[in-house]
Amino acid sequence: MKKVILVEDDVDTVYVVEIILNNAGYTVININRELPVEEIAAINPDLVIVDYLLPFTSGHTLCAEIKNHPKTKHIPVILYSANNLLPKVAHECKADAFIPKPFDIDYFVNVVQRLAN
């Protein structure tokens, strides 16, 4: 099974995303705290999904750290948020894709499948 790290602090969103991705055949590892890039490298996920607005860091910052670290730069990152600056922010941090919230479930799964497989 493919592993997806979900960096999200909203319990309801985590619940929904876990159901969607589990039904699509993915193992979801939810992280709702500061996440060092070395820990991401140790987990070696097939994909990282990061909320832009987090209480402990910026999703933009975490995305940039992942994309700029030699051990994690190959891991695809999806930045998602309801923030209207999401396309610009995702481009700046070198995210492989962005998904605006609220998201269409089929679109969400298609983006995940395209990047994680």
Domain chopping of the chain, boundaries: 2-116
User: Which single residue is written with the structure tokens 């923030």?
Assistant: 83
Entry pTM: 0.95
CATH homologous superfamily of 2-116: Response regulator (3.40.50.2300)
Angle made by CA atoms 45, 41, 92, in degrees to the nearest 5: 85
**Exposure string (b/e) for 103-116, b if CB count within 10 Å is 16 or more?**
beeeebbebbeebb
Closest Cα to residue 46, out of 6, 3, 8? 3
pLDDT(81) > 90? yes
Helices 105-116 & 11-23 angle (0-180, nearest 10)? 60
89-101: per-residue pLDDT in tens?
Answer: 999 999 999 999 9
